[in-house]
Structure 1
């Protein structure tokens, strides 16, 4: 009985799924994330095959980053001023059109790297609009006490897609080539479109600020004025920029595992495997009060896990260490998202979610660029292992030096 109670206390809280609108969003994301993850594997491998350069694979991060910054901040401001359902639908169609474009270039065997970069940039534009909008919708359709549980469920579905998607993507690459992987993404993305279409109208509440530079600056000023919010962003940037090794997966696969598509799929899924485990047993996360110190600790664990994976020469060890990193990453994500959603008033949630999305999605892209550039200069091991160690050292030094963040306790 005691064991059953212990397991129940630590398993993910599923109460948000009892709310119909959230359940549709969650199921739509469950389906579409599989296809998105398959495309991530395929597009990185296609660029590697065309160029045989980790630097060009890293440049995919820049093709994502610029639209994420511009349209993420703008999209968040728009989400505070218009019906969020309509904006989610528009952003979803933009992302879907980009997926169809990258599918078309594969079917036509164009092999044009610049066209691929353009399609990735358009897709990032759609994501930059939908992500902050979706994040701002959740507190509108759920009671406040269910928001942390919803974030854990969102992390779970994203992580499960990141586990299943790369493996399916690897199979699709082997059996049907790049077009098969991109076609899968285009088909499965319709789940997100359906969920957005079935949402009720969600007009803005409170004072409406006209979208533009002033509205964006108001949101950024709100973050800067709060040491806790600001440092929650800073530690995540440290984690992703210093330690994210994603751009190095094709090179590691080629140098250590014979270029196997299966090895590439397993490596890409490894972190998400840990994220699934962490999210499934996330019931305890909401009971941690000293979340500032806890964030610093789990990000340091992430960095050290990445460094250990870079030293491994057996595929199972790489997968195991990156899975440990995935556990740390998903716990960090739940804390940071919940703090932001519940701290902000509704009329600013879109803008703050836009800034959050820029950091969460943009940080790994900068990490891709950092990894590709340092691999060119220092070699694979130097870029991978050195980045993980630097992450752990810097996050401990910076995160624990800010008193307000170090002493922060969740209310």
Structure 2
């Protein structure tokens, strides 16, 4: 296979100026968001020195997405997705400006900071379903997977750079400047969004309110391939999410060396970036269901092996493998969902996928902590990885549409 078909497919950057502008704006905005994530965690800890308040930061970010996501999806399937995205981006930028103001003045209590974080997350929840239709509407069908891969590799690169850059800027300039830079990053989001054409739903618009939400849930329940994709994601996150176990496993197996602990998350991210950068072979083949199942299975197996490993360097290698497998699985799942969902339902299905992506890791970290508390970190990793592998095998055997890559029926 030629190198051009192995490296990430960059055709969308050449063929669609609108997609290119959107990607630039999103990349800079994601960088700002990761800087803000670090800044909020730092500020809350400095204000309270409480692990409970620090944990509340994650709750403030996740709850609005879960509570508003499906209704936002129904709204996105009724109106112009471009206008909804612009409204969402405006709301997020205003919240970042308010965070910057309180960062410079220092007169807002910790509950007020978390309220601004929750408001920004609510705005993001509104915009996510609308943004979920951009790639399949802007690109030819044979370039959708490539466009999603470009989104993924830039997002993961910002996940590597953003927290480190945020920490440096915090030390140099303080929290107000970090928040202000995030607010300014939304200018490039507007730059990308204003170039979009009007994007009303194709087909029958969503019904208003709860009726529209229920229509979306009925589609998810009836479409075997899309349902299987979301179940696979839940299996990978709820059953085998390892992040909360890293400090314990580092202490149990690797002597509590902080340098090793710091490399755990980096290893996952490095694997994800490498896999995304070399995703051309996957996006050209057009079998997202098979790749998703294979990637999720390798993720579970690699984490189970990591739980057994006593050599730290081999363990880090297994985490790189797990991160790479997860990146390919996520890319393939998103490709499958966006190419097999009718446009009129895509906002609601994207909202459901976002909720699964938000809630699954939190539930998985909680499950891992409970199992580790009753047994050990290694046991929680091994059992979680094996359970994930079994769940993937079940989805693969019960959903042949995912294995063969053939178009799935709309409902059954």
Query: TM-score with structure 1 length normalisation?
Result: 0.84
Q: Secondary structure at the match of 2:132?
A: helix
**Which residue of structure 1 aligns with residue 388 of structure 2?**
392
**Which residue of structure 2 aligns with residue 67 of structure 1?**
64
**Which residue of structure 1 aligns with residue 410 of structure 2?**
none
Give the Cα–Cα distance (whole angstroms) in 2 for the partners of residues 103 and 380 of structure 1. 42
319 and 113 in structure 1: CA distance in 2 versus 1, 3 angstrom threshold: farther
Unpaired runs of 5+ residues, structure 2, are 408-412
- Whether the 8 Å contact between 1:291 and 1:410 is mirrored in structure 2 is no
1:200-249 per-residue CA deviation (whole Å, 9 max, x = no partner) reads: 22233322233311111111111110121111101101212233344567
**Which residue of structure 1 aligns with residue 35 of structure 2?**
38
- Whether the 8 Å contact between 1:61 and 1:368 is mirrored in structure 2 is no
- Whether the 8 Å contact between 1:68 and 1:358 is mirrored in structure 2 is yes
267 and 63 in structure 1: CA distance in 2 versus 1, 3 angstrom threshold: same
Give the Cα–Cα distance (whole angstroms) in 2 for the partners of residues 117 and 395 of structure 1. 36
User: Which of the numbers 213, 220, 224 marks the counterpart of 1:223?
Assistant: 220
User: Which of the numbers 131, 153, 159 marks the counterpart of 2:156?
Assistant: 159
User: Which of the numbers 381, 400, 409 marks the counterpart of 2:377?
Assistant: 381
114 and 318 in structure 1: CA distance in 2 versus 1, 3 angstrom threshold: farther
83 and 263 in structure 1: CA distance in 2 versus 1, 3 angstrom threshold: same
User: Which of the numbers 7, 13, 17 marks the counterpart of 1:17?
Assistant: 13
Q: Secondary structure at the match of 2:239?
A: helix
Q: Does 1:208 align with 2:205?
A: yes
**Which residue of structure 1 aligns with residue 405 of structure 2?**
409
Give the Cα–Cα distance (whole angstroms) in 2 for the partners of residues 152 and 82 of structure 1. 27
Unpaired runs of 5+ residues, structure 1, are none
User: Which of the numbers 2, 7, 12 marks the counterpart of 2:3?
Assistant: 7
Residue pairs, 1:47-126, within 5 angstroms: 47=44, 50-51=48-49, 53=51, 57-109=54-106, 112-126=109-123
Q: Secondary structure at the match of 1:340?
A: helix
293 and 201 in structure 1: CA distance in 2 versus 1, 3 angstrom threshold: closer
**Which residue of structure 2 aligns with residue 256 of structure 1?**
256
Structure 1 residue 191, shift from structure 2 partner:
1.7
Structure 1 residue 94, shift from structure 2 partner:
1.9
Give the Cα–Cα distance (whole angstroms) in 2 for the partners of residues 67 and 233 of structure 1. 20
Structure 1 residue 22, shift from structure 2 partner:
0.7
Give the Cα–Cα distance (whole angstroms) in 2 for the partners of residues 186 and 136 of structure 1. 24
Q: Does 1:132 align with 2:129?
A: yes
**Which residue of structure 2 aligns with residue 284 of structure 1?**
281
Structure 1 residue 17, shift from structure 2 partner:
1.1
Q: Secondary structure at the match of 2:280?
A: coil
Give the Cα–Cα distance (whole angstroms) in 1 for the partners of residues 208 and 275 of structure 2. 37
Q: Does 1:331 align with 2:347?
A: no
Aligned CA-pair RMSD: 3.3
- Whether the 8 Å contact between 2:12 and 2:20 is mirrored in structure 1 is yes
User: Which of the numbers 338, 341, 350 marks the counterpart of 1:341?
Assistant: 338
The number of equivalent residue pairs is: 402
- Whether the 8 Å contact between 1:92 and 1:130 is mirrored in structure 2 is yes
Give the Cα–Cα distance (whole angstroms) in 2 for the partners of residues 174 and 263 of structure 1. 22
Query: TM-score with structure 2 length normalisation?
Result: 0.84
Q: Secondary structure at the match of 1:284?
A: helix
Structure 1 residue 252, shift from structure 2 partner:
8.1
Structure 1 residue 175, shift from structure 2 partner:
3.3
